[in-house]
Every structure is written in C-alpha cells, then in structure tokens.
Amino acid sequence: MDLANTTYDIVIIGGGPAGTTAAMYTARSGLKTIVIDKGLTTGALGITGKIANYPGVTELSGAELLATMREQAKSFGAVFISDRIIGVDLGTELKSAFGNNGVYSGKALIIATGSMGRGKQIKGESEYLGRGVSYCATCDAAFFKDQEVLVAGSSDEAVEEALFLTNFASKVYFLNPTETINAPDFLISDLSEKGNVVIYPETKLKEIRGNGKVEGAVFARKGEDEAELRIDGAFIYLQGGKPITDFLQGQLEVSESGCLIVDQEFQTAIPNVYAIGDVLCRHIKQVVIAAGEGAVAAMSAEKAIRGRRKAIVDWAK
C-alpha cells in the first residue's frame, strides 16, 4: 500500500507526545489516521534524557516514553511514516500536506510540529540553497554521486539521511553539534561502521562557502580553532527553539511570537484544522499537557467529521 497519495480521515503532522496522543484517540475511534514525522529524536521529548514526572511512569528516557506511546497508537491502527512536510493546502474540503515522498490528504488536519525550528540560518545557507545546500538526502543524494558532502545534525533524522547518502557520496562528514548523537544505538552503530563516514563530535557548522555552488564549509570543534572542509554538498538537520510553521506558507495566523492561534477545542481559524503542543505559546511545556491537548483536539476532530454537536467522552470502548 502506498501510504502517501492516499486519503485519510485524519492527517497529523508531527509525532511527538501531542501528535501521538491525538493519533491514539482518533485511531481508537475508528478514524483512518496517519502521522507524518521526521524521526523519533527530532522533537523535544525525543532528546530528553530522563522523564520522571509523567503520570504512571517512574523513570525512563524521553525517546523510550515516546516509542511506547507510538506503539500504543499503532495498536489502535494509526500509521506512522517518516517524511518532511514542505507545504500544505488548507483551502479545500480535503486538507493536504505535501511531503518529499508524496501527498497526504484528510478530512481533518492536526498540526503538532513543535518548537524546535531554527530562527537563524548558517552563513551561506540560504545563498547556496539548491546549489549544494539541501534539507532532503532522499531527494538530492543522487546529485552527489562520488562527491564529498557533510551532514550537520544530531537527531535520528540526520543519521538516517547520512546513511542514505553513503550509498552515493564518496565521503560523508557527519558534524554533530552535541556531545552525543541523539539517535537509537543501532543507527549510531550503522553510521560508525560505514567506511566512507567521518564523525566529528561536538562540532558546529559555522559557514558554507562556494562560488556559484557549494565548495567548502567552515566548522569548529569544541576547544579547537575553526577549520575548513572541501565539500560539494551540505545537508542540514539542525534544531532550534522556534515554532515550526514555515510549511504553512502563511495560510494560518500566527501570534507575535510566531505561534499558531486556536480556540478552546484547539481548532484554528480554518475548520477541521487543529494545532496542539509546543507549536502553541499558551502553556507550560510539559509532556502531560501536550498529551492532553492531543486528546482534546482528537475528540474535537472526531466530533466534526462525524457531524456530532458534542464530543464523546472516551472512558472505555
């Protein structure tokens, strides 16, 4: 089955605690649900080392908690797919999300993309976008066959994209800005074992240089002077602290802080389009609160799709 280019009841963008909880509720109520996410450790929960204040959980990592939540959602029929959403169409009855791997359409759309977007770009990043700078290895790797590239990031998305690039590039330099790579051990092991990969820990990408196209990059390892790499391409998967709404292309109103605006049922100004979690700026950033918002939005969406005046209280079905 082609998971993309298929019509669903509910399309959820973002697989953190808010989006995953929403999927749990919509799938459990019998709605055909898909969650599009960039990776387990691309969000705030996935990179959290220890969770000890989530109800019913004594202590485990954020990635472990999120993986458990996802398995629960899958057990009710929710489908998860790894893709990057680059645009949406909210102006028709069916709401569509455009990814690198296809189009996902649904009767309702729930936005749960979080707030780890970057507000500041690397010097030279925008100048060489499409001329060596890319955000999608699966889209552009073939253009770099037998060439040298770098990947900047520390999430499982970054590792998976770097692994894909090893099938094409002669050399892949992996610039990890943090002390450790925030990805599952098996992915890190796979990356480390690749003969054409060089991993730079605690390394920040400072600048991308070129002449009409990418020709090099300046980086700095912790405690060392800046150095330069000769490369042909730069794939960037860095994270920040800004609500991720760029893919909406201005179709929804945002606050002065760049956050989406919703009503008490977490519906935006466009009917059947909801927003939950850290993409909003109206709550304390806690997993339990994001999960609660996911439940409310899911029941609101289910009510709207089935034409009911009130949401059903889901105690047990």
Mean pLDDT over the full length of the chain: 89
Kindly indicate whether the domain formed by 133-237 is annotated with CATH number 3.50.50.60: yes
Alpha helices in 125-226 (DSSP H): 137-140, 156-165, 185-193
Identical fold between 6-117+242-305 and 133-237: yes
pLDDT, average across residues 180-205: 94
CA–CA distance, 123 with 246 (Å, rounded to integer): 19
Tens of pLDDT, residue by residue over 21-49, are 999 999 999 999 999 998 766 665 655 65
- How far from chain centre, in Å, is Cα 72? 20
Return the bridge partners of 36, or none.
13, 81
Residue 60's pLDDT is what? 77
CA–CA distance, 118 with 235 (Å, rounded to integer): 15
Considering Cα of 278, then 281, then 285, then 288, what sign does the dihedral take? negative
Tens of pLDDT, residue by residue over 71-113, are 999 999 999 999 989 999 999 999 999 998 899 999 999 999 9
Question: What's the CATH fold of domain 6-117+242-305?
Answer: FAD/NAD(P)-binding domain (3.50.50)
Tens of pLDDT, residue by residue over 112-158, are 998 767 768 899 999 999 899 998 887 789 999 999 999 999 988 89
Catalytic residues: 136, 139-140
| Continuous segment of H or E residues that includes residue 99 | strand 95-99
Number of separate helices (H) and strands (E) present in the chain? 6, 15
Its pTM stands at 0.76
Return the bridge partners of 237, or none.
153
Considering Cα of 142, then 145, then 147, then 152, what sign does the dihedral take? positive
Domains of the chain by residue range: 6-117+242-305, 133-237
Between the alpha carbon of residue 261 and those of residues 6, 16, 60, 251, the distances in Å are 28, 19, 33, 12
